[in-house]
Amino acid sequence: MKQVQDYIRTIPDFPHEGIMFRDVTTLFADPRGFRLAIDQMLHPYVGIQIDKVVGLEARGFILGGAIAHQLSVGFVPIRKQGKLPGKTISQAYTLEYGEAVMELHDDAIQPGEKILVVDDLLATGGTAEASIKLIERLGGEIISCAFIIDLPALGGRTKLAKMGMDVTVLCEFEGE
């Protein structure tokens, strides 16, 4: 029986030499693989109160929308700076070569709402950390952070755990 990681393609030297890019588009394109990933990501949260699923740009939108649908809750996108049309709050975070900014509509989450954060990949944890800070600034209570892939060597899971976050992942890959 195929596992989630069996549907994920690895592309060497993308976006630059030395990186082994874990491509989830092959997982999404396969109906069995996509259903398997959504079902496995959803399973730990069945029966737990969740008010909204927050998906991180961009593949987190695909996953988060499907999970929110299955849980019958709302979906909220966190996007790169300048992509959301309404009034937003912003959070900068560090990238390998510089800084980036994530944004969230300032009315997307109400104080006390229980939030599940979803994305495809956990690497250094910078995007997830920035997103957690945005959600907490609006008073959201993060129940958990769920990812398809963890790259343990890059330390993201440890970073989120130090922030007090529950983290679930479907599979791990060694290296970058």
> Do the Cβ atoms of 125 and 159 come closer than 8 Å?
yes
Q: What is the DSSP string of 156-172?
A: HHHHHHHTT--EEEEEE
Secondary structure (H, E, C), 57-81 = CCHHHHHHHHHHHHHCCEEEEEEEC
Whether residue 137 lies in the annotated active site:
no
The whole-angstrom separation of Cα 51 and Cα 72 is: 9
Q: Looking at 9, 32, 35, 96, which residue is catalytic?
A: 96
Q: Looking at 59, 79, 113, 129, which residue is catalytic?
A: 59
Residue type, 110: Q
Total residues belonging to the chain: 176
Whether residue 59 lies in the annotated active site:
yes
Catalytic positions, please? 59, 96
